[in-house]
Structure 1
Amino acid sequence: MRTVVFDLDGTLADTSGDLLAAANACFRAMGEGDVLEVETDAGTALRGGKAMLTLGLTRLGRLDQALVEKYYPMLLEAYSGAIDHHTVIYPGAMDAVERLAQLGYGVGICTNKPEALAEKLMTSLGVRNAFGALVGADTLPVRKPDPEPLFETARRLGGDPAKTVLIGDSVTDRDTARSAKVPSVLVTFGPSGEDMAALEPEALLKDYADLPALVQDLIGRNS
């Protein structure tokens, strides 16, 4: 089976609002106010909890790696408790996933979000059953950009890891696909979309309606 593997944050869904809210809960616990804002910091949110804590502490002039590590578990707890208040699936994403499945592709998720949180979010959004596999940051001993989580996702889908396409939104996804020697498609509608062309992926995606045809072309070329 040929497979299509999606990143989650910033690719399938805009999760930045809930992530930033969790980080701001940590800053309030430190005696500060809300330090991060969706308008300016969504891109950092999609790079994960420690990136948000680092940015906020830098702004406060309090950057200390020990503080980042101390508050990271609190951030995860806050996020788990309000994981879907602001998160939205990007327009057309699930239609594209359904179409790819109809065309016979295995469809899965490979994310650097902890597996339990990714499972909880996708279930809460009502779309978990659309994906045949989900591999998170802690599913294996390694995480993206190591290619093994991508390979494992493809294997769990019953596919050949060499016949997959990775859909993502970051240099991490680009590097993962490059290490795996498979094509990458980077979306341009996320907070860092304007920077994706410089990463030179095999394709850029502006609209999910274009994805099925794009995947057919790329996997055909890569086979």
Structure 2
Amino acid sequence: MSQRRDALAFDLDGTLIDSAPDIAIAMNRLMAELGRPEIELPAIRRMIGDGAGTLVERALTAASVPHRAEELDIYLKRFLAHYEAEPVRLTRPYAGVLETLAALRAAGYRCAVCTNKPQRLTDIVIEVLGLAPYFGAILGADAVKNRKPHPDHLAVALTAIGATSAQAVMIGDSANDVAPARALAMPSIVMAYGYGRAPLSELGADLILDDFAKLPDALRKIDAGL
């Protein structure tokens, strides 16, 4: 019988929470400052996942805002100021997240968050939404030297909860979650409802779920060797 993998690393946006509506509000406040029309929510969803800087660069490009590389930090700071002013107006955990995390904690799982969201915003959102008690470690993009998809981000998150890759599973929604798991020889699960841009079938995840509440059963399948 296989040993249970009792350490879980979770992506945040598109996996645990639907934050795109608040991200879109903040981004469109920046667009208004720049005299550009609003970017629609579906387009914003497709821009999320690679860190705030990449998000802003994609939005500027989509809105045809001329910009040099050295100007990106200015736009990023303006976007983050808008976002930090109201980060959880519309953001909510996905259905089943709170209940499932509670069940996993009761079952003895060690859990960490491994996200490309800035640490300050990550901490605010997780605390306000009542998710903080379920995680032994919360590591945003700027909490580590190399963020996802670099495996160091995931490895540091696991170390913070006293786990090794042999004891762990990565749960996310995109290639940025699957790639570091594969680099560490870990199984991964992706959520079909998330923000990933690549077709799910191309990611190479061990399992694809359409409902977070199905996660405990999926973990049992992984422990049983699928």
Of the structure 1 ranges 83-92 and 22-31, higher mean CA displacement relative to structure 2 is found in: 22-31
**2:95 maps to which of 87, 91, 99:** 91
Structure 1 unaligned residues grouped into runs of 5+: none
Would you say 1:75 and 2:47 are equivalent positions? no
Structure 2 unaligned residues grouped into runs of 5+: none
Would you say 1:100 and 2:104 are equivalent positions? yes
8 Å CA contact 1:23, 1:49 repeated in 2: no
| Cα drift, residue 69 of structure 1 | 2.6
Would you say 1:50 and 2:44 are equivalent positions? no
Q: How does 1:1-223 map to 2 (within 5 A)?
A: 2-34=6-38, 36-64=39-67, 65-192=69-196, 195-221=199-225
Cα root mean square deviation, aligned: 2.1
Change (3 A) 1:112 1:184: same
Q: Distance in 1 between matches of 2:61 and 2:54?
A: 11
| Cα drift, residue 48 of structure 1 | 3.8
Tell me the number of residue pairs that the alignment of Structure 1 and Structure 2 aligns.
Answer: 221
Equivalent position SS for 1:85: coil
TM-score (norm 1): 0.90
Change (3 A) 1:52 1:112: closer
TM-score (norm 2): 0.89
| Cα drift, residue 11 of structure 1 | 0.5
Q: Distance in 2 between matches of 1:199 and 1:169?
A: 10
8 Å CA contact 1:144, 1:176 repeated in 2: yes
Of the structure 1 ranges 24-33 and 177-186, higher mean CA displacement relative to structure 2 is found in: 24-33
Taking only the aligned residue pairs, the percentage that are identical comes to: 29
Equivalent position SS for 2:111: strand
Equivalent position SS for 1:221: coil
Equivalent position SS for 2:141: coil
Q: Distance in 2 between matches of 1:199 and 1:108?
A: 22
Equivalent position SS for 1:138: helix
| Cα drift, residue 24 of structure 1 | 1.3
Change (3 A) 1:21 1:164: same
| Cα drift, residue 82 of structure 1 | 0.6
8 Å CA contact 2:173, 2:190 repeated in 1: yes
Note the alpha carbon deviations across 1:113-169, whole angstroms, 9 max, x for none. Answer: 111210111001122112111111111211111112212222222222321000001
- One-letter amino acid matched to 1:61: S
Q: Distance in 1 between matches of 2:206 and 2:29?
A: 39
